[in-house]
Chains A and B, each alone.
Chain A
Amino acid sequence: QVQLVESGGGGVQPGRSLRLSCAASGFTFNSHGMHWVRQAPGKGLEWVAVISNDGSIKYYADSVKGRFTISRDNSKNTLFLQMNSLRGEDTAVYYCAKPRSPGIAAAAAYWGQGTLVIVSS
């Protein structure tokens, strides 16, 4: 079955960087686009970024554009989110998610358990 396991979260000071990972299994990783979605405390879901199956296409939410970079290593079935210049408003649970079908436009049918990022001095 599909498994997505995020790691790399934790506490970090404003302005610093953090790299999240998402280990994928149970499906052909290099055939699917992948997403990052976050939820700040007491807030709703916010889509963060998406990457195509081969890594050639990447899109970002305006709130993270220029600061976050999504990438993947298909040889290791792992998705990444490099987060630079972190701000307090980036505090959230970060989920990786797999679309229900190949391609980046499909709905996110599988979700990891999430990893908590706290940005605070």
Chain B
Amino acid sequence: DIQMTQSPSSLSASVGDRVTITCQASQDINNYLNWYQHKPGKVPKLLIYDASNLETGVPSRFSGSGSGTDFTFTISSLQPEDIATYYCQQYDTLSMFTFGPGTKVDIK
């Protein structure tokens, strides 16, 4: 099965800071990598699909890049409403869907 690692597991940054989260797959997953935002008490929200495509209605400060095994998620200017846990998720034909362990983002 494909394993997903995310780093860091948590981070604290100031409003306006650039925030970067990385996700690594144990095998090549092409670009089958999605990013979700999950706030406490809320429903998970899809932000980025297929590694780099911004979901409709998602602010442009969110972006994603990468392919193969290494992927990056970026918030270009952190806002107070971005406090959440962010998950990467991969798809492959054998183990289907796997979420990364998550990165908790706080405001400093």
Contact = CB atoms under 8 A, between A and B. Distances in A.
A105 B31 CA distance: 12
B44 interface: yes
Given A100-B55, A105-B91, A47 B98 contact: yes
Given A107-B89, A111-B44, A100 B49 contact: yes
Question: What is the interface residue range for chain B against chain A?
Answer: 20 to 34
Interface of B: 1, 32, 34, 36, 38, 43-46, 49-50, 55, 85, 87, 89, 91, 95-102
A50 B97 contact: yes
A40 interface: no
A47 B1 contact: no
The 7 closest A-B pairs by CB, nearest first: A107-B49, A47-B97, A107-B34, A111-B43, A44-B102, A59-B96, A45-B99
A97 B43 CA distance: 10
B92 to A, nearest CB: 9
A23 interface: no
Nearest to B99: A45
Contacts of A44: 85, 87, 99-102
Given A105-B32, A106-B49, A107-B89, A46 B99 contact: yes
Contact of B46 (A50, A62, A95, A109): A109
Nearest to A101: B49
A112 B43 contact: yes
B52 to A, nearest CB: 12
A35 interface: yes
A7 interface: no
Name the residue in B43, B97, B102 with the highest tally of chain A Cβ atoms < 10 Å from its Cβ.
Answer: B97
Interface string A81-121: 00000000000000101001000011111011110000000
B45 to A, nearest CB: 8
B6 to A, nearest CB: 9
24 contacts: A35-B97, A44-B99, A44-B100, A44-B101, A45-B38, A45-B87, A46-B99, A47-B89, A47-B96, A50-B97, A59-B96, A62-B1, A100-B46, A100-B49, A100-B55, A105-B32, A107-B50, A107-B55, A108-B36, A109-B49, A111-B43, A111-B44, A112-B43, A114-B43
